[in-house]
């Protein structure tokens, strides 16, 4: 679960039905049950986790109405594909110093304790979309690709590692559409639906997005970086 600290105080997430999100209607928010949020004088933060087949998707959405500095912390059980959505941001990541993500940029990281701190400027929306990858899947994707095999070796050993780039890879138009579909898809049960078939379809969308992203990461000549935790 995401932990947020502001001015030294731990902020408490509540069930999203207690949070007024009327100002967020212009943005896609997952219609799912496991959603939490908080509202403070600087704005709102929403946190989502939902299962799509073998993937547990995670989405952090920030509606910042007043510039603020926040510290965020989360556990990471396995490597993740991370994607910047709606707007970019710059923050300090696990003691590595300045880590900048522009809109639609993405990468791979494995940080058993994910810690980032940054100044959020006033803006209507920014967010991070995270797709955890099993070690088995990562090893399958990494087979025969030296830099990915090295990443997988560190991740398999539970060690923190991430890729850095001279130029971060950026989602293609097709990938942007896939992210939007995964985030915006209504996951509530309806009578006139075939949920099993839809789950299979969405899992295939997720897998296709992961495969294309990993290919683009390799093509971007990534460098391994080792955080302090």
3-state secondary structure the chain: CCEEEECCEEECCEEHHHCCCHHHCCCCCCECCCEEEEEECCEEEEEEEEEECCEEEEEEEEEECCCEEEEEEEECCCCEEEEEECCCEEEEECCCCEEEECCCEEEEEECCEEEEEEEECCEEEEEEEEEECCHHHHHHHHCCCHHHHHHHHHHHCCCCEEEECCCCCECCHHHHHHHHHHHHCECCCCCCCCHHHHHHHHHHHHHHHHHHHHHHHHHCCCEEECCCC
User: What pLDDT sits at residue 38?
Assistant: 82
Mean pLDDT, the chain, rounded, equals 82
- Count of domains forming the chain: 1
Q: Could you list the residue range(s) of the whole structural domain that residue 163 is in?
A: 3-225
User: What pLDDT sits at residue 18?
Assistant: 58
Tens of pLDDT along 98-140?
778 888 999 999 988 888 887 788 876 778 899 999 999 999 9
Model confidence at 192, in pLDDT bands (50, 70, 90)?
A: very low
Model confidence at 1, in pLDDT bands (50, 70, 90)?
A: low
Model confidence at 188, in pLDDT bands (50, 70, 90)?
A: very low
CATH label of the domain that carries residue 164:
2.60.120.10
């Amino acid at each position: 679960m995401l932990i947020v600290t502001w001015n030294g105080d731990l902020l408490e997430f509540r069930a999203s039905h207690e949070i007024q999100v009327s100002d967020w209607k212009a943005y896609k928010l997952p219609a799912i049950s496991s959603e939490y949020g908080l509202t403070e004088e600087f704005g709102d933060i929403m946190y989502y986790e939902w299962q799509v087949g073998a993937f547990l998707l995670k989405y952090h959405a920030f509606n910042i109405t007043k510039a603020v500095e926040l510290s965020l912390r989360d556990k990471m059980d396995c490597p993740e594909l991370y994607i910047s959505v709606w707007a970019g941001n710059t923050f300090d990541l696990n003691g590595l110093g300045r880590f900048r993500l522009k809109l639609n940029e993405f990468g791979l990281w494995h940080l058993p304790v994910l810690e980032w701190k940054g100044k959020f400027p006033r803006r209507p929306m920014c967010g991070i979309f995270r797709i955890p990858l099993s070690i088995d899947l990562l090893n399958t994707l990494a087979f025969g690709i030296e830099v990915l095999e090295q990443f997988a070796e560190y991740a398999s050993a539970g060690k923190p590692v991430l890729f850095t780039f001279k130029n971060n890879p950026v989602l293609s138009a097709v990938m942007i559409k896939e992210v939007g579909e995964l985030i915006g898809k209504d996951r509530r049960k309806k009578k006139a639906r075939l949920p099993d078939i839809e789950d299979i379809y969405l899992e295939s969308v997720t897998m296709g997005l992961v495969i294309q992203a990993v290919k683009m990461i390799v093509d971007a000549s990534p460098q391994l970086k080792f955080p302090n935790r």
